[in-house]
Amino acid sequence: MGSIMKFAQGMDWWGLITLLISAVAALLCITLHELSHGLMAYKLGDPTAKNAGRLTLNPIKHLDFIGLVMMVVAKVGWARPVPVDMRYFKNPKRGMALTALAGPAANFLTALAAAGIASLIWRFAPVNQGTLLALCLLSNLALLGVGMGLFNLIPISPLDGSKIFFSFLPDKTYYTILRYERYVMGVLILLVFFGVLDKPLSFLILHGLEALCTVTGIPLNVLLVCQDVSVILSLF
């Protein structure tokens, strides 16, 4: 019993809570991202995602373990792609581009909503552990929403940005790229793992957060500090 108590006393509980909050925020961003893909495809006439059970808020249906880990650790990541059959679209290339754009758009809207609510809590809510935990969750949602949205707009297959960018290419080139895009995923994972994209993404994410702060009125330093519960607690 004594050893268990010592172990419990030595645990960084606030650090663990911060990690769990970050994981919850990542799951929410991933779920909304993929659900938006599926809903847009369904609206454009493709029932594939619906038939596969992917029009759901159940995060397990959309989870890619490596992508989730990268979201928590590197603040950028991906989910298990929603199945889309472009043959259902009246205009296949346009349909794919709109379906691809829906995911990042959902992430940016999530980040905007999170920053807006965080701003209201920061200005008007009483300071207690509940509001501080809410600020941590909302700040993580804002950061991860911007990070996932920008990362997926990179025009490298199979990210969403490639579907948008490639839609402007001639049909023959477009369909050739789609045929081989699955092999590019390994290269993309290596680029993320070795930090090749860190500097440009960090630059873009920072400016994205600054834009959110300008719109919502929450100070950027508050949004950044609130990523970690233990840091927030040290301020009060």
For 145-204, the pLDDT digits (tens) are: 999 999 899 888 778 998 898 888 887 777 777 777 666 667 777 777 777 778 888 899
pTM: 0.85
Catalytic positions: 34
Cα(211)–Cα(144) distance, integer angstroms: 15
Give the number of other CB atoms < 10 A from CB of residue 32: 22
Please write the tens of the pLDDT for every residue from 4-38.
Answer: 344 345 556 677 888 889 889 989 999 999 999 99
Residues 6 or more apart whose Cβ sits within 8 Å of residue 18: 136, 227, 228, 229, 230
Q: What is the pLDDT of residue 2?
A: 45
Contact 67, 77 (CB under 8 A): yes
Average pLDDT, integer, range 37-50: 96
Q: What is the pLDDT of residue 232?
A: 66
Long-range contacts of 190-196 (CB under 8 A, 24+ apart): 192/70, 192/74, 192/76
Residue 195 DSSP symbol: T
